[in-house]
Amino acid sequence: MQIGFIGLGNVGAKLAGSLLRNDKDLHVFDLDADLVAGFVARGAKAGESAAALMQTCDVVITCLPSPQACDVVVTEMLPHVGPGKIWMEMSTTDATEVARLAADVTAKGGSAVECPVSGGCHRADTGNISIFAGCDRATFERVLPLLTILGRRVLHTGEVGSASTLKVMTNYLATANLLTVCEAMITMKAAGLDLATTYEAIKISSGTSFVHETESQMILNGCRDINFTMDLVKKDIGLFQDIAERHDVPLEISPLMVEIFKDGIARYGERAQSDEIIRRLEDATGLDITAPGFPSEMIDDEPEEPGYEVVPQR
């Protein structure tokens, strides 16, 4: 199987790396020629364009920063879509938009799968990340062997659109957790508590979470580098808020979160790391939320394992 991969950014490069590491015949394309060259040096083939990848490959995977970028790429590929061709979208995007593009692909005789990932860049790097897959069941079974190389836990969520809806929900929850962790740590510091002890207290308690055990370490180290930027957070929680508004759900916490990240972007820039949001509280209080002994990079220390389908209880 010839596999194309378009979008070699923070997440895309790691996902594509899993394919290369598992000896898949990989063709890559990105607007940054240096990123492509790096993959070619590791054994991938360079694609001339998105259209060329769809012409050459059986499956083309996209991992792009925005729905607009995805629209441009899929529009370019469409003339070369036909029976047997599969488009897999691994970005976090708008469910309505991905469903529209998927319909265009299927109208040309191809198949479409939306398969956003969750679990952090460090797990994308080892093939241990989780994947949501939205598509018809027959298509899911065709791509499952590929998905179990890209990730460890694969959940078939239903038709196209369902995976993107669930993914923005999980990013909303992660962002809410990040903001409460920031408030918890700044309050404990103000109350005179040791931050390393505070970290452990949260970790062994009912208040712990994936976000705390990863992002809190980046905050306390001072690097705040979680490989995810404020503009992407704002996009994702904005998509979640849009879903709520379309269904007349009167959320209270979600709009406040959107405003907090708008303010963070105004202060620190849209490409500031998402964990820099704690600086709003550091600036307001004059407190420094750092502590020695915490890592500057998240590394997945679990061994790479074959992936598998997660089946919901019925």
pLDDT of 93 strictly over 90: no
pTM, 2 dp: 0.93
pLDDT of residue 214 exceeding 90, the answer is yes
Non-local (6+) Cβ contacts of 10 within 8 A are 121, 227, 228
pLDDT at 245 over 90: yes
Q: Over 90: is that where the pLDDT of 302 sits?
A: no
Question: What confidence category does residue 303 fall into, taking pLDDT thresholds of 50, 70 and 90?
Answer: confident
User: Which pLDDT band holds residue 118 (cuts at 50, 70, 90)?
Assistant: very high
Inform me whether the pLDDT recorded for 224 exceeds 90: yes
Q: Give the pLDDT score at 65.
A: 85
What mean pLDDT is predicted for residues 61-81?
94
- Region 112-122 average pLDDT: 94
What does the block give as tokens for 26? 């990989």
pLDDT at res. 96: 93
The pairing of strands 117-118 and 130-134 is antiparallel
Quote the CA–CA distance of 52 and 34 in Å, as a whole number: 19
User: Partners of 4 in the beta sheet?
Assistant: 27, 60
pLDDT reported for residue 40: 97
The mean pLDDT value for 231-239 works out to: 94
Q: What is the CATH code for 2-164+302-310?
A: 3.40.50.720
* Cα distance between residue 194 and residue 188, in whole Å: 8
- pLDDT value at residue 22: 94
Q: Which of these ranges, 149-153, 225-229, 238-242, 286-290, has the smallest mean pLDDT?
A: 225-229
Alpha-carbon distance of 236 to 117, in angstroms, equals: 13
Q: Is the pLDDT of residue 46 over 90?
A: yes
pLDDT at 67 over 90: no
**Residue 276, pLDDT score:** 98
Phi then psi dihedrals of residue 33, to 5 deg: -60, -30
Question: According to the model, what pLDDT value does residue 252 have?
Answer: 98
Give the pLDDT band (50/70/90) at residue 306: confident
Contacts of 31 (CB under 8 A, 6+ apart): none
So what's the architecture of 167-285 in CATH?
Orthogonal Bundle (1.10)
Q: What is the mean pLDDT of the chain?
A: 96
Domains of the chain, residue spans: 2-164+302-310, 167-285
> Which of left, alpha, beta for 92 (phi over 0: left; psi -120 to 50: alpha)?
beta
pLDDT, tens digit (0-9, with 9 covering 90-100), for 19-38: 999 999 999 999 999 999 99
